[in-house]
């Protein structure tokens, strides 16, 4: 079987605006329903052949310079073991982990895609999504991110899981700005009974028909969720005063706002990250060196 010397793959991230954990009885797995935006920034992975699994995570600035190196990633290692493949993986992301960008899911998907090509295993996109989904829900690092990033757009997931009903709309054309105030690990929040109860109470099942409606629905969920931190509250208030659509990123200690006017408001509170809606989600495309 032909193997590549090095393979790379990229997977977009996903920002949840609202969600509710739902068990998928038919699959015996947890999942969630909710709404989010598939974004054009995420995780790139490079894989080279190795008999062992080794993962190094590079967190970079927007200019690509490495700010932090972390050895190991439990979600990526778990997924490679499940797939029965080995490889030396380097992940690269210019967004922070544990901040509501769905990067655990993106790191698993891009790493499985790259590693499967260097080992010659050639997993299909569907196999990659299935392993990524099962890894995420078993480690509680995500519930709905993998179904969302399997396509593009801003999404309304009406039923849970990879086979769930997902409505995708693509008319979110303006830039999205995100301000982040630090980590909020997903597994910790999902393990708190009170937090899950608050999420269930805050959830409304409506699917938005426009970007403005999306940000309004997400903003209402932020208010009702009880997750809003003092920093997030200040930014949301400033956005409301300026009539800028905004919501708290789930699950991260941050705010996402719509349109270029958000930049000036955010700049008073920190360094905003600019991103756009991804039209495609994960495509499986990537360069290989033979
Ligand atoms: N770029 C990355 N490369 C490898 N693993 C990552 C990356 N980003 C996140 N992870 C893994 O996912 C875990 C965080 O999961 P979670 O709290 O769900 O964050 P997120 O909101 O980014 O999905 C991290 O502790 C790390 O193990
Ligand atoms: C909100 C969350 C449970 C976690 O999202 P993240 O923090 O980005 O991993 C997501 O997977 C969802 O189901 O909507």
Provide the pLDDT for residue 281.
Answer: 98
pLDDT score of 105: 98
What residue ranges of the chain have pLDDT lower than 70?
1-4, 286-290
Q: How far is the CA of 98 from the centre of ligand 1 (A)?
A: 6
Last residue of some domain: 114, 130, 165?
165
Has residue 128 been placed in a domain? yes
Q: Are residues 150 and 266 in the same domain?
A: no
Q: Do 151 and 183 sit in the same domain of this protein?
A: no
Statement to judge: residues 98 and 232 lie in one domain: no
Q: For residues 58 and 90, is the Cβ–Cβ distance under 8 A?
A: yes
Note the pLDDT of residue 285.
75
Domain containing 43: what range? 6-165
Q: Residue 50, exposed/middle/buried by CB under 10 A (0-12, 13-18, 19+)?
A: middle
Please write the tens of the pLDDT for every residue from 96-124: 999 999 999 999 999 999 999 999 898 99
The tens digit of pLDDT for each residue in 21-50 reads: 999 999 999 999 999 999 999 999 999 999
Is 222 close to ligand 1, i.e. is its CB under 6 Å away? no
Q: Which atom of ligand 1 is nearest to the CA of 185?
A: 17
Choosing from 165, 182, 216, the residue where a domain stops is 165
- Report the domain count for the chain: 2
Place of tokens 């705010």: 255
* pLDDT at site 167: 98
State whether 216 and 249 are in the same domain: yes
Burial 207-218 (b: 16+ CB within 10 A, else e): ebeebeebbbbb
- The pLDDT of residue 62 is 87
The H-or-E segment that residue 119 falls in is helix 103-119
Predicted local distance difference test score (pLDDT) of residue 2:
55
The pLDDT, as a whole number, for residue 289 is 56
Check whether the bond before 251 is cis (ω within 30° of 0): yes
- ipTM tops the 0.90 cut: yes
Ligand lying closest to the C-alpha of residue 68: 1
From ligand 2's centre to the CA of 71, what distance in Å?
23
Assigned domain for 12 exists = yes
Query: Tokens at residue 127, please?
Result: 């196999």
Q: Are residues 137 and 14 in the same domain?
A: yes
Testing ligand 1's pocket by substitution, the residue of 46, 78, 141 carrying the most ligand atoms inside 8 A of its CB is: 141
For residue 122, the model assigns a pLDDT of: 86
């Amino acid at each position: 079987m032909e193997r590549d010397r090095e393979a790379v793959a990229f997977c977009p991230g996903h920002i949840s605006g609202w969600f509710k954990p739902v068990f998928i009885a038919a699959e015996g797995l947890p999942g969630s329903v909710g709404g989010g935006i598939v974004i054009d920034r995420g995780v790139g992975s490079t894989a080279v052949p190795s008999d062992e699994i080794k993962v190094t995570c590079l967190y970079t600035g927007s200019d690509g310079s490495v700010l932090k190196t972390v050895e190991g990633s439990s979600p990526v290692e778990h997924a490679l073991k499940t797939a029965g493949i080995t490889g030396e993986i380097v992940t690269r992301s210019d967004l922070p982990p544990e901040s509501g960008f769905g990067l655990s899911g993106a790191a698993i998907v891009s790493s499985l895609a790259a590693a499967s090509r260097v080992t010659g295993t050639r997993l299909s996109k569907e196999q990659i999504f299935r392993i990524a989904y099962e890894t995420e829900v078993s480690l509680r690092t995500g519930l709905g991110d993998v179904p969302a990033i399997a396509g593009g757009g801003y999404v309304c997931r009406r039923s849970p899981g990879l086979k769930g009903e997902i409505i995708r709309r693509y008319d979110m054309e303006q830039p999205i700005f995100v301000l982040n105030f630090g980590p909020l690990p997903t597994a910790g929040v999902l393990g708190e009974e009170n937090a899950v109860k608050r999420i269930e109470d805050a959830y409304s099942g409506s699917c938005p028909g426009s970007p403005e409606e999306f940000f309004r629905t997400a903003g209402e969920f932020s208010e009702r969720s009880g997750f809003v931190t003092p920093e997030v509250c200040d930014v949301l208030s400033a956005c409301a005063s300026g009539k800028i659509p905004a919501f708290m990123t789930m699950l991260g200690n941050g705010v996402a706002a719509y349109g270029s006017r958000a930049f000036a408001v955010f700049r008073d509170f920190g360094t905003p990250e600019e991103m756009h809606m991804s039209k495609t989600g994960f495509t499986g495309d990537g360069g290989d060196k033979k």
